[in-house]
Amino acid sequence: MELGTTAVSVGELLSACRDGDAEAGSLLVDRYHNLVYAIAVREGLSPEDSADLTQSTFEALLAQLDRIRDDEKVASWLMTVARRKAWRVRSRRGQQTSLPEESMAVATDWYDDDPADDVSRMLWVYEALSQLDDKCRNLITVLYFDPRSPSYAEIAARLRRPVGSIGPSRARCLARLRLILGEVASQ
């Protein structure tokens, strides 16, 4: 099995992690890092707390590797652990969940009251994002999942691209993502 490929299944990665393969652990973190971080942000944590929560969630996964019953549901497991950890952080601080005002309209359209639907939608989008090439995945992640909402100039500097390329690249990447989402939905 060659771990460097995107065709490696979650089960193969987890099996390699159980055997002590550090590269498999890194690939697993790479595959799910943005998902876990997005959960923390969605639960109202600061970027610093979200980063800490992401790290502790993956530490929990490594500690519980032998107890994972269904390897293909590791994304759901990570989301559940991240959400619970976020609730604990907020409860220690006496915080309520608070999304930025502009995110509320998207949140009310995208998420409903059924947590199962919430999880399945997030997994659906995350699966589609993971099928994009690195350039598109990185661009969409920075544009839509970075809680600091960086400007095009900041994004261009971070991704080492010309500022004028961000908008057209965004349009192409979103078109690809829509196609993938349609394919994922039809499976």
Structure tokens that stand for 173 in this block: 């990447």
Q: Which of 71, 98, 125 is the last residue of a domain?
A: 98
User: Which is more confident, 116 or 180?
Assistant: 180
- The predicted-structure confidence for 141-151, as pLDDT tens digits, reads as follows 888 877 677 88
**Interatomic CA distance for residues 81 and 84, integer angstroms:** 5
* H helix or E strand, kind and range, residue 177: helix 163-186
Residues 18 and 87 reside in one and the same domain: yes
Per the CB < 8 A criterion, the answer to whether 141 and 129 are in contact is: yes
139 closest CA partner among 175, 178, 179, 174: 174
- CATH code for the domain of 181: 1.10.10.10
Residues 31 and 106 reside in one and the same domain: no
**Interatomic CA distance for residues 48 and 26, integer angstroms:** 21
Of the chain, the percentage scoring pLDDT greater than 70 comes to 79
Residues 129 and 56 reside in one and the same domain: no
Number of domains in the chain: 2
- Domain with 25, as residue range(s), is 1-98
- The predicted-structure confidence for 31-64, as pLDDT tens digits, reads as follows 888 888 888 888 888 888 888 999 999 999 988 8
176 closest CA partner among 130, 107, 118, 115: 130
- pLDDT, residue 108, reads 35
Distance of CA 39 to the CA centre of its chain: 7
Task: Name, of 62-71, 116-125, 169-178, the range with top average pLDDT.
Answer: 169-178
- pLDDT, residue 112, reads 41
Residues 173 and 131 reside in one and the same domain: yes
- pLDDT, residue 117, reads 53
The whole-number average pLDDT for the span 17-29 is 91
Residues 68 and 142 reside in one and the same domain: no
- pLDDT, residue 67, reads 85
- pLDDT band with cut points at 50, 70 and 90 for residue 6: low
Residues 52 and 121 reside in one and the same domain: no
